[in-house]
């Protein structure tokens, strides 16, 4: 897959949601090549290593991508301060993205926290037929709920502390939803513990499941081994690069 690196302009910086940062970047060649579930690697001032951020939405016509992120450390703090008109040095699109060849299937998207943004573009491909379960720590960490409501048939929102939607983890509802609704496929992104549970539940119920892993990264293009992830390959254990072979994997492949 081709990827590009250049300085690209922030066209919009939406500060209306206090719990996350939401920017549109004008990068026509990246937007044109990008697929749902891929990510970009951003140079943040003072950092040797780039910071990976998922592509939340792609507008090929306008030549823009949408990035939604929260502050974890210095890199994302610097990123959050970049205003409209500023230029970001971006490498991308990177990774494999979701395989969306079978959008006639009944799909469920399961996102947790910062794992929610990469699912939006994929959910759009199902043209209003997919459902979603979105989980957040609390109301202050919630994001993209209106966006998912716009593109999904049913959206269930959950929070760990009950301050928004139903109280509990996304996995506490998953079993019930998949037995009642007979989904063909589950797409998920979120913390590793959540992905492991989603993977176990879908496997037990014989439902295809694709997970997007968010390992820490360095080069982002398969040249180091920082993002190594243990997988099963021909009944043997092996390592794959999350940045290059993923971030999306068939959940059956992962050795949790
Ligand atoms: C493929 C991929 C897609 C991502 N997409 C998004 C996104 O759309 N929005 C978003 O907000 N974040 C996303 N992340 C996470 C984001 O890259 C990190 O939050 C960011 O790199 C932290 O950089 P920093 O300099 O701000 O913090 P650092 O100082 O590097 O780290 C601060 C803290 O965050 C932890 N941390 C850093 N990276 C990760 C990670 N990957 N997983 C878990 N903990 C981590 C560190 O251990 C440390 O405790 C993604 C990560 C990956 C690998
Ligand atoms: S981050 Fe270097 S190989 Fe993946």
Judge: domain 215-256, CATH 3.30.565.10: no
Dist. CA 241 → ligand 2 center (Å): 6
Please tell me whether the overall predicted TM-score, pTM, comes out greater than 0.75 for this model: yes
- Specify the fold of 4-94: Elongation Factor Tu (Ef-tu); domain 3 (2.40.30)
For the chain, the domains span 4-94, 98-211, 215-256
Dist. CA 196 → ligand 2 center (Å): 22
Tell whether ligand 1 has an atom less than 6 A from the beta carbon of residue 53.
Answer: yes
Report, as an integer, the average pLDDT of 165-176. 91
Residue 18 has a pLDDT of: 64
How far is Cα 134 from Cα 118, in angstroms, rounded to an integer? 12
- Specify the fold of 98-211: Rossmann fold (3.40.50)
Pocket of ligand 2 (CB under 6 A): 217-220, 222-227, 241, 243
Atom of ligand 2 nearest to the CA of 218: 1
pLDDT in tens, 25-76: 999 999 999 999 999 999 999 999 999 999 999 999 999 999 999 999 999 9
Nearest-CA residue for ligand 1 atom 14 is: 53
Atom of ligand 1 nearest to the CA of 95: 1
């Amino acid at each position: 897959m081709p990827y590009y690196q250049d300085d690209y302009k922030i066209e919009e910086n939406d500060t209306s949601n206090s719990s996350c940062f939401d920017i549109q970047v004008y990068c026509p060649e990246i937007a044109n090549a990008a697929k749902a579930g891929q990510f970009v690697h951003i140079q943040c001032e003072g950092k040797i290593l780039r910071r990976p951020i998922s592509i939340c939405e792609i507008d090929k016509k306008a030549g823009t991508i949408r990035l939604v992120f929260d502050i974890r450390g210095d890199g994302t703090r610097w990123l959050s301060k970049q205003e409209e008109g500023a230029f970001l040095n971006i490498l991308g699109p990177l990774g494999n993205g979701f395989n969306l060849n079978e959008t006639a299937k009944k799909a469920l998207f399961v996102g947790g926290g910062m794992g929610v943004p990469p699912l939006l573009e994929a959910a759009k491909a199902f043209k209003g037929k997919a459902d979603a379960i979105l989980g957040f720590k609390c109301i202050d960490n919630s994001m993209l709920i209106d966006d998912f409501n716009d593109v999904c048939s049913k959206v269930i929102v959950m929070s760990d502390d009950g301050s928004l939607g139903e109280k509990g983890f996304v996995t506490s509802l998953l079993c019930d939803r998949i037995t009642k609704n007979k989904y063909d496929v589950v797409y998920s992104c979120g913390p590793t513990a959540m992905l492991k549970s989603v993977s176990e539940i879908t496997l037990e119920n014989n439902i295809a499941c694709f997970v997007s892993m968010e390992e820490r990264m360095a080069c982002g293009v398969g040249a180091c081994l920082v993002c190594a992830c243990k997988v099963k390959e021909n009944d043997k254990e092996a390592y794959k690069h999350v940045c290059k072979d993923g971030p999306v994997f068939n959940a059956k492949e992962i050795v949790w």
